[in-house]
Amino acid sequence: MKFLIFEDNSGDYRWTLVAASGERLAQSARFASSEEATRAARIARAGAASAPIEDHAADGGTTNLSARRKIAIERDDVVTHRSRSSKQARRDQHE
């Protein structure tokens, strides 16, 4: 198993957790730099062994995926906006 750090098509950076079989198990949110993505991957790796598994399916309740998706999109928009602002600043420096 390994963490891969990569730049996506929008110029942001992410980590992906890949199994030995090559199957993608998890992917991070967007980060403005590869250093930030690497730092987040290290935090995820360090905390994963002690993270509890909470099986909410056993509670008999349902998960409102639409609400969770909306929250995730809103959070991603904030990160994306911050990332693009820092990228624009870097572009302005080179012009």
Q: Is residue 56 in a domain?
A: no
Distance CA 36, CA 17 (A): 16
pTM (2 decimals)?
0.59
In a domain, residue 31? The reply is yes
* DSSP codes of every residue in the chain: -EEEEEE-TTS-EEEEEE-TTS-EEEE---BSSHHHHHHHHHHHHHHHTTPPP--GGGGT----HHHHHHHHHHHHHHHHHHHHHHHHHHHHHH-
- Kindly state whether residue 59 falls inside one of the protein's structural domains: no
The 10s digit of each residue's pLDDT in 14-40 is 999 999 999 999 999 999 999 999 999
Structural domain for 81, as ranges: 2-50+64-94
Q: Encode pLDDT of 37-82 as tens digits.
A: 999 999 999 998 888 888 877 666 666 767 777 776 666 554 444 4
Report yes or no on 69 lying in a domain: yes
Distance CA 39, CA 56 (A): 29
- CATH number of domain containing 28: 3.30.160.160
Please indicate, yes or no, if residue 19 is contained in any of the structural domains.
Answer: yes
Q: How many structural domains is the chain composed of?
A: 1
Ramachandran assignment for 86, one of left (phi > 0), alpha (psi -120 to 50 degrees), beta (any other): alpha
Backbone angles phi, psi at 26, to 5 degrees: -160, 155
Domain assignment present for residue 37? The answer is yes
